Each structure stands twice: as C-alpha cells, then as structure tokens.
Chains A and B, each alone.
Chain A
Amino acid sequence: MKLSQLEPGQSGIIKEFTDVEMSIKLMEMGCLPGEPIRVERIAPFGDPMAITVSGYQLSLRKLEASTIILR
C-alpha cells in the first residue's frame, strides 16, 4: 500500500521507499521506516496532501507520497 492511496483520517506505518533520492529528503523531514504516518487532509484540488508524522505536519504531492510504501 502506498501513502498516496490513503484517505484523510487514515493512517499507516512507513515500511520503505521506492526512490532513493526522494527517501533522503523524506527521512530528513522525519519520515522514517517504522514511523506512524496519518493523512490529515487533501488540498481542495485533490493534490497535494497534508500528513502528520513524528508530531508535526508536512505537505507533499501525491507523486511524492506514492514513493512511500506502508506496512
């Protein structure tokens, strides 16, 4: 399951990433394997999405979210 497939209010736990370069940026921002992640809301036009991870909110595009595989 990819993060981009979650609906607002749903959550999951990060398993791995499909893109090494993107994973570096994501991990720097606190999205680490094993970390719970929750989709808070999706922007009015359907993209990007707002997520909560390790206590704060990030916004990322669905394309970027699709590189995060959940367990």
Chain B
Amino acid sequence: MKCDRKIALVGNPNSGKSTLFNILTGLNQKVGNFPGVTVDKKLGHCRLLDESRIQVIDLPGTYSLYPKSKDERIVMEALLDKQNATHPDVIIFVADATNLRRSLLLYTQVADLKIPIIIALNMMDLANKSGIEIAVDMLSHKLGVQVIPISASHGQGIDHLKQAIQYTSEIPVQSDTIQVKELAPGLVEKIAEEMNIHEPYSALQLAHQYDQLNFVSSEDRDRIRAIEETLSFHSQKVQAAEIIARYNFINDVLFDTLKLKEGAKRETISNRIDAVLTHKVFGFVIFFAVLFLIFQSIFSWSAYPMDLIKELFIWLGDTGHQLLPAGVLTDLLMDGVLAGLSGVLVFIPQIALLFAFISILEDTGYMSRVTFMMDKIMRKVGLNGKSVIPLIGGFACAVPSIMSTRNIENWKDRMITIMVTPLVSCSARLPVYTLLISLAVPNQTIFGFINMQGLVLMAMYVLSIVSALMVAWLMKQIVRSRERGYFIMELPVYRMPRWDNVLLTMYQKVRTFVFEAGKVIIAVSIILWVLASYGPANSQEQAERVYQSPAYTQKYAPQEIERLKASARLEYSYAGILGRVIEPVIKPLGFDWKIGIALITSFAAREVFVGTMAVIYSVDADDSNTESVLQKMRSAKNPDTGLPVFTTAVAFSLMVFYAFAMQCMSTMAVVYRETKSWKWPAIQFGYMTGMAYFASLLVYQLLK
C-alpha cells in the first residue's frame, strides 16, 4: 500500500494553526505524545478533493527554528531529521496575515530547509477589516511558493488549500531567501561536506543545535564541535546576524506587497478592553468573578450529572447482581470493574466544564491577560500566572486541574504546578473533614457569630493553599531546568471564542482522560476491590460464622447481622491484614489498624474513608448516614486501654493526614498521563505521604 503523504502544519503560536488542523481533520484525529516532552502530538487524516488521503500533523507553534523550550525543539527535530517519523513530505506554513512580517521570519527559516512548502495565509478577513492589504500574487511570485489566502475560523479558502496540496510538486520550488553561507564563512561548507548534507541552512542549523538534537550521534557531535572550535564559531552572534538578515529580506519582499490603509483599528478596541480587564481594581474584581464562576461550575453545577452517573452505576450494579448468577465472576464484574468504570466516568462533567471555560478563556485572549496580571506574585513562589486556574480548580478536583496545566508553556512552572495542585483542598476531602470535625470540634458559636466547626473547616482550606504555595517555593529552589525562563509573550487581540473549537476541546480532553488515565484507575480500583473483598483461605468465613451462632441471631435483627458480617469480612480481608501490618508505622500518629484499613481503601478516593468507616463500624454503608457513623466512632474504644479511639488528637491528626497525603489514584493516573513517566507521580506520592506523616506525627504528639 502506498503510504499517505505526510503534511506538517508549521507556524507561530496564535496563528490559527490548530483551528486549521481541526478543519482539515475534523474528528479523524488522534492526540498522542512526543517522546520526552509534554506538548500534545496531534495527528489526523484528511481527504483531498480527488479522494486521496493525506496524513496531517500539527507541530507545536514557534516563533523561530531556534527553540526556547523542549516543546519547540520538536519542530526542529521533525524538520531536520529525514528519518524522523514525523518528517513531512510537504509543509503547510500557516502565516498570520495580521502579523505577516513576523510570520515570514519563521517562514524564511523553514523554507531554507528545502522541504516542499505552501503558505496558508490565515486571518485574511481580520487583516482586510483592519486595513491591511496584501498583494497575494506578488508575494507568491517573490517567494516562489503557492500562497493561499484562508480564514480558518470561517472555513474560507480550505478547498483552495486542499487543491494546492494536491498539485504541489515533490521537489522544493521556493526561492532562496538569505545568503546562508555568508553568516558563517567556511563553516557551513565544512559541515555540509563532513556530514553529507546538501542544504546549506540545514548544515548551519546543525552547527547551532547539534548538542540538543537527539538524532545526532555522539561521534558526529564531536566532529561538529571540532570544526566549530577551529573556526571559532559563536552561535548566538550568528543567530542574531541571521535574524537581522532575514528581516532585511522580508522588508524587501513586503515593500510593495503589504500596504496599511489606516491605523490598526482592532488594536485600539483591544486596548480599551485591556484598560478595564487589567485595571488595578476592576481587573481583579473581574478575574475573581471569572474564577468564582469556574469554581461554582465544577463544584456545584457538575454535581448533578455526577450524581446521575453514580446512581446509574449503582442501579447497573444492583440489576447485574439480580440478573447474573451469583459467583466470583459476577462480583468481579459488578463490584470491581463496574465500580472502577463509575470512578472514571464520574469525572467527565468536571473535565468537560473546566475545559469549556479554559478554551473560552484561551480563545478570547483573556488567559494571556491573567498571566500578565498574576505573573509577579505567582513568580515569587515559583509558579506562573497561568498556574492560578489549576490551583483554583484544585479546590474542586485535582484531576481536571492537572490536565489544564498543559496551557503553561514553561516546563518547570508546569511541573511545579502539577506537583502542588493536589495539595489544594479538593471536594473529596470535604466529607472526611465534615466527619472528623463533627467528631472533634464542638458545634459552638464564639463571639456570637463564629461557628467553631466552620472556623476549623476554613482553617483546613487555608492550610491547603498555604502549603501548596510553600511547597511550590521549595520546588522552585530544587528543580533544575536548562530552559531560560522567558516571559516575552504575545498579548493577542481579543476575539470571540470559536464554539466548535470549544466543543472539540471538551470532547478531546474527556476522551484522553477516559482512555488513558481511565485504564490505570480501573486497574487500581480492581486491585483495591480484591484487597478489601478477599482474604487468606477461610479466615473470612470463620470470622463470619461467629455471627451465625444463636448468641447473635437471637439478639440482633437479620440486617444487623449482615452488617456485622460485612465488618468481619473486611477485618479479615487482605486490606484488613495490611491494616494490621502498617499499624506499628501509623501508631505514632494515633491511628489503629482499623484506621489503617481506611487509609488503604481510601487510596481509591479520599471520600471512601467515610464509607470504609461505616463498614468497619458496621453501620449502613450509606454516605448520607454520617450521623450513625459518627455515633459508632465516638463510642469506639481501644480494646487494650479501654479509652476512646477517636480523641481530639486523633481526629486532628487524621485531618492533617488527609490534607497532605496523596490519597487519590485518579490524580496519580492523570499525573502519569500528563508527564508520561512514573517518575513524577512517584515523587509526588513520596513527598506528599512523607509530609502527611510528619505533620500528623507533630499534631498528634502535641495534642495528645
């Protein structure tokens, strides 16, 4: 079978590259990962007008071929290395007609690599509106390439572009741009000869970047280094000279092809909006209103669909148990797999809603203003202006919030944000806190209006945000990064969100979560289910049998017996055994083995703590029934000492433990998916559990 031709989209950030990619491929796209970096690898297929199929790849947006981040390096690797799996046969260069001069800088670099290229001149409608006139034919003639005016957001010119792809030749036809050899006399020829490279600019790029390109072997690196030393090559100075030479060329090209009719009108409107949106007072009022809206939506609006999903799965489980023959397989399917699936799907409403907001904020250009406003304070603690959204989202749920860190371009800022987001008090901690606070804090009012329980709950929330910022600051000192932290960023002109893009983003994020993080979540939840349901041979049966003796059956109602049995089964399960195993370790924190069981099972999700407590203390395992769990926990006595188990010290110690510990497999699964290695989730689990342990130890020993 003939391989599909590979087409790569190359262009500046905000040039409408992704919108064009979405139009070309529609739902025929796959989001994957480039090895070693965090930017999405978007691949898709597109049918041309003659029904032939092409493969389209969306390369990360960049301003030049000299990468400033790991993500931008991808572009260079794909274009320079002919063996690379994403090396294109044809490049579609997406130029922003409203910023043509800057777009052409990257164009001239890419064109000099001599891969067949077509220019898609995007945002023509906006350029026309703001009085920019481009003589397309003359531009095409001067550069020696096809230039197709399009408007990706309105779907205009797409058929012309497809035609151009169809008819493009297999050999590069673009004109030369600058005298590459003059930039580094002698060096370009030498490297081209030594490395057997035909194109002078490819040779020069290799001279600049050989040390950071994965495909260059170490022998080749040594050879290039030796050549550079003999010719005393200064990479940065040559880069600067190249950029100036390129702009001179571009100014010549644009001299009679680009005309400005009047002052840029869009700019002034945008400026007026900015005067309000980044205002000292109104700017923050509006920003907090936006944050509040996002928070509300993922905290409370998403509760309705989430409850529906939960109820649907409870109903499915019950029906399954009734219809299928009782046995291990049915139990596995209904209680293990189905519960795991429910645990994955329940996140969909939150993810969809958060990403609806985020893609609107990105699309309109407001997100860059948020970064602009918040940069100074967030930078102090090692974060980025854009970290605000994931951190606030963390109050609802860390899972979608960590997925949203993809908008943070700087690698180090992004990693730190991912690392600290789970410390922010998420909604799953709320039932745990509610239970423990009502156990330990009297429901009293001081000074006539301050409720003690409310005060403690607020303190837990404040603790969470303070600890997140402190850890971020610490990590800023520890994490090393080769990237220089630039903040030179474009503030795009405000525009209306493209709703089909918003919907597509929601769909993609949900799909990625379900299929990638979902696998891990289901696997872990099955393991946890087995641990909590099974035990070593016969030990559970023996424990249960006790309650069949007349001593119990005469005294208790059948339902009560069932609950006692469930409690006994859990105590003698593998989870129960593990609880006893870890007891010596958690004893200094004031926890007994029963709490140990809850710590293990609530790794599935923090709120499972309440359910496990209910089973251990054999009350009806219903979340709404906290009152009865509370009664049982309050009267629980330590069999050795006869003293209450849940003292104030234990309750606070537990609360602090849940505040810091990484008790959430879904978060770990999503961190794995976002960083594509187990290293980061492992570090995160380690530091959070360590922090939780020592904080609990301190609290318990002080309050005891």
Task: Report A's interface with B, CB cutoff 8 A.
Answer: 20-21, 23-30, 32-33, 40-41, 43-48, 50, 52, 54-61, 64
State whether A55 and B240 are in contact (beta carbons under 8 Å apart), knowing that A41-B275, A44-B284 are contacts in the complex.
Answer: no
B375 at the interface (CB under 8 A from A): yes
Question: Are B244 and A27 touching (Cβ within 8 A)?
Answer: yes
Known: A24-B240, A54-B102. A60 touches B489 (CB 8 A): yes
Instruction: Tell me the smallest distance from the CB of A63 to a CB of chain B, in Å.
Output: 9
Question: Does B267 lie at the interface of the complex (its beta carbon under 8 Å from any beta carbon of A)?
Answer: yes
> Given A41-B278, A56-B491, A59-B371, 16 other A-B contacts at CB below 8 A?
A20-B237, A20-B240, A24-B240, A25-B68, A32-B244, A32-B247, A41-B275, A43-B278, A44-B283, A45-B377, A47-B375, A55-B98, A56-B267, A57-B267, A57-B270, A59-B488
Return the contact of B236 from the options A24, A41, A61 (Cβ within 8 A).
A24
Q: A20-B236, A28-B105, A30-B101 are in contact. Are A43 and B373 (CB under 8 A)?
A: yes
Residues of B within 8 A of A54 (CB): 101-102
List, sorted by A's number, 19 A–B pairs whose CB atoms are closer than 8 Å: A24-B236, A25-B68, A26-B488, A27-B243, A27-B244, A28-B243, A41-B275, A45-B377, A50-B274, A50-B372, A54-B101, A55-B99, A55-B264, A56-B492, A57-B267, A57-B491, A58-B490, A60-B488, A64-B487
Chain A CB within 8 A of B637 CB: no
Residues of chain B contacted by A29 (CB below 8 angstroms): 63, 102, 488, 490
> With contacts A44-B284, A57-B491 known, is A27 near B101, CB below 8 A?
no
Contact residues in A for B271 (Cβ distance below 8 Å): 40
Query: A28 and B66: CB pair below 8 A?
Result: yes
Contact A58 B274 (CB under 8 A): no
> Would you give the 0/1 interface string for B528-542, flagging 1 where the beta carbon is closer than 8 Å to chain A?
000000000000000
- What's the minimum C-beta distance from B124 to chain A, rounded to whole angstroms? 16
Chain B residue at smallest Cβ distance from A49: B372
Q: CA separation between A54 and B376, bound complex, in Å?
A: 26
Which 4 A-B pairs give the minimum distances between C-beta atoms? A45-B376, A57-B491, A28-B64, A28-B63
Which residues of A sit under 8 angstroms from B368, Cβ to Cβ? 59
Complex interface: chain A residues within 8 A of B490 (CB): 29, 56-59
Total chain B interface residues with beta-carbon distance under 8 A: 43
- Compute how far the CA of A29 lies from the CA of B243 in the bound complex, rounded to whole angstroms: 11
Closest Cβ–Cβ distance, residue A45 to chain B (whole Å): 4
Contact string against A for B residues 332-361, beta-carbon threshold 8 Å, 1 for contact and 0 otherwise = 000000000000000000000000000000
Q: Mark B16-30, 1 if CB is under 8 A from A, else 0.
A: 000000000000000
Query: In the assembled complex, which residues on chain A have CB atoms less than 8 Å from the CB atom of B377?
Result: 45
Q: How far is the CA of A58 from the CA of B490 in the complex (A)?
A: 4
A interface SS class: mixed
CB distance from B568 to the nearest CB of A (A): 60
Residues 272-296 of chain B, each 1 if its beta carbon lies under 8 Å from chain A, else 0: 0011001110011000000000000
B295 to chain A, nearest CB (A): 21
Given contacts A29-B63, A40-B274, contact A60 B487 (CB under 8 A): yes
Residues on B facing A (Cβ under 8 Å) = 63-64, 66, 68, 98-99, 101-102, 105, 236-237, 239-240, 243-244, 247, 264, 267, 270-271, 274-275, 278-280, 283-284, 368, 371-373, 375-377, 484, 486-493
Chain A nearest Cβ from B438, distance in angstroms: 41
Question: Given A20-B237, A28-B66, A28-B105, are A44 and B487 also a contact pair (CB < 8 Å)?
Answer: no
Let me know if A24 and B487 touch, CB within 8 A: no
- Give the Cβ gap from A8 to chain B, nearest Cβ, in Å: 10
Give CA–CA (A54, B250) in the complex, Å: 14
Residues of A within 8 A of B63 (CB): 28-29
A-side contacts of B486, CB under 8 Å? 25, 64
Q: How far does the Cβ of A53 sit from chain B's closest Cβ, in whole Å?
A: 10
A25 touches B488 (CB 8 A): yes
Which chain B residue shows the least CB distance to A35? Answer: B247
The complex places the Cα of A64 from the Cα of B491 at a distance, in Å, of 16
Instruction: Report the minimal beta-carbon distance from B126 to chain A, rounded to whole angstroms.
Output: 12
Q: How far is the CA of A64 from the CA of B484 in the complex (A)?
A: 12
Query: Which A residues are in CB contact (< 8 Å) with B283?
Result: 44
B-chain residues with CB within 8 Å of residue A50 when the two chains form the complex: 274, 278, 372, 491
Chain A positions within 8 Å of B68 at CB level: 25
**Min distance, Cβ B474 to any Cβ of chain A, angstroms:** 22
Q: Residues of B contacting A52 with CB < 8 Å?
A: 267
Our pick among B99, B243, B274, B372 for the contact of A56 (Cβ within 8 Å) is: B99
Give bound CA distance, A25 to B105, whole Å.
12
User: Which residue of the partner chain, among A23, A25, A33, A41, contacts B274 with CB atoms under 8 Å?
Assistant: A41
- Cβ A47 vs Cβ B489 within 8 A: no
Given A27-B243, A29-B63, A44-B283, decide whether A21 and B484 contact each other with a Cβ distance below 8 A: yes
In whole angstroms, what is the CA distance A50 to B273 when docked?
Answer: 14
A60 — which chain B residues lie within 8 A by C-beta? Answer: 487-489
Residues of chain B contacted by A41 (CB below 8 angstroms): 274-275, 278
- The answer to whether B240 and A43 have CB atoms under 8 Å apart is no
Residues of chain B within 8 A of A23, CB atoms compared: 240
Per the bound structure, the CA–CA distance linking A56 and B484 in Å amounts to 24
Closest A residue, CB atoms, query B62: A28
Provide the residues of chain A in CB contact with B371, threshold 8 Å.
59
Q: Distance (Å) between the CB of A50 and the closest chain B CB?
A: 6
| B105–A61 touching, CB < 8 Å | no
When distances are taken between beta carbons in the complex, the residues of chain B under 8 Å from A58 are 488-491
Residues of A within 8 A of B267 (CB): 52, 55-57
| Cα-based distance from A25 to B66 in the complex (angstroms) | 9
Nearest Cβ on chain B to A16's Cβ, whole angstroms:
11
With contacts A41-B275, A45-B377 taken as known, whether A59 is within 8 angstroms of B487 at the C-beta atoms is yes
Contacts of A32 in B (CB 8 A): 244, 247
Nearest CB in chain B to that of A52: its residue:
B267
Nearest residue, chain B, Cβ from A60: B488
Q: Which residues of B contact A46 (CB under 8 A)?
A: 376
Q: Are A44 and B488 in contact (CB under 8 A)?
A: no
- Whether the pair B373, A44 counts as a contact (CB closer than 8 A) is yes
Do A64 and B236 form a contact, CB below 8 Å, given A29-B63, A46-B376?
no
Q: How far is the CA of A68 from the CA of B61 in the complex (A)?
A: 25
Rounded to whole angstroms, the CA-CA distance of A48 and B102 in the bound complex is: 22
* B102, B279, B488, B493 interface centre (most CB from chain A within 10 Å): B488
User: How far is the CB of B25 from the nearest CB of chain A, in Å?
Assistant: 29
Instruction: Please indicate the chain A residues that have their CB under 8 angstroms from the CB of B274 in the complex.
Output: 40-41, 50
- Specify which chain A residues have a CB less than 8 angstroms from the CB of B489 in the assembled complex: 58-60
How far does the alpha carbon of A64 sit from the alpha carbon of B68 in the complex, in Å?
Answer: 15
Q: In the complex, A26→B244 CA distance in Å? A: 12
Please give, as numbers and ranges, the residues of chain B lying within 8 Å of A44 by CB-CB distance.
278-280, 283-284, 373
Q: How far apart are the CA atoms of A63 and B244 in the complex, in Å?
A: 23
Q: Are A48 and B487 touching (Cβ within 8 A)? A: yes
Given A44-B283, A47-B376 in contact, is the A24-B488 Cβ separation under 8 Å? Answer: no
Closest B residue by C-beta to A54: B101
In contact, B375 and A61 (Cβ under 8 angstroms): yes
* Cα-based distance from A59 to B279 in the complex (angstroms): 15
